[in-house]
Amino acid sequence: MCAMGIIMTVASALILDRITKMLCVKYLAGEASIPIIKGVLQLTYVRNTGAAFSIFSGSTRALAFFTVAVCILLVVFMIFQKKKNPGKKLYIISLAMILGGALGNMFDRFAYGYVVDFVDFILINFAVFNVADIFITVGGTIFCCCLLFDKDIKL
């Protein structure tokens, strides 16, 4: 995995997150939820001042600075892991996905004082989330799978 691939993954996550959030603010803010699949999925504009599932609600600034620290640590970890695990592209991409998602939510926290969420999976009354959260979740899942199933990865 070359540095350009990592940068492209992080940039893709950040750009997709920013575009979807800008569209959300433009078309959903102040509007009723828009059903996508009736009873399953809808678009709902939410200002989240907390972290995942709105924990630490109202702690946006503290979460923003915590995210900066996590992002710095993630970059350092990714650099070392890239050197220790050459050829483990999926493993490194998973870290880049997590970083891109974290940067997307961090941008919101610093710029607005909250994170814009809009994907509302109502079938199971799940928390409203966004594209950055999807990148973090998918990246985290891939990362865990790599650690579980690829015994050649060195931490």
Annotated active-site positions, please? 117, 133
Instruction: State the average pLDDT for the chain.
Output: 94
Identify which of 84, 83, 99 has the alpha carbon closest to the alpha carbon of residue 143. Answer: 99
pTM: 0.93
As a whole number, mean pLDDT of residues 113-121 equals 96
Name the E strands within the chain: 34-37, 41-48, 115-121
Residues recorded for the chain? 155
Q: Is residue 127 pLDDT above 70, yes or no?
A: yes
Helices marked H in the chain — which ranges? 3-28, 60-84, 89-112, 131-149
* DSSP letter string, 113-127: SSEEEEEEEGGGTPP
Domain ranges for the chain: 3-149
Gap between the Cα atoms of 74 and 10, Å rounded: 12
Residues 27 and 121 sit within 8 Å (Cβ to Cβ): no
As a whole number, mean pLDDT of residues 29-39 equals 96
- In the prediction, which pLDDT does 125 show? 85
Can you name the residues that pair with 37 across neighbouring β-strands? 41
Gap between the Cα atoms of 142 and 89, Å rounded: 11
Instruction: Please provide residue 114's backbone torsions phi and psi, each rounded to the nearest 5 degrees.
Output: -160, 165
pLDDT interval class at 59 (50, 70, 90): confident
pLDDT interval class at 25 (50, 70, 90): very high
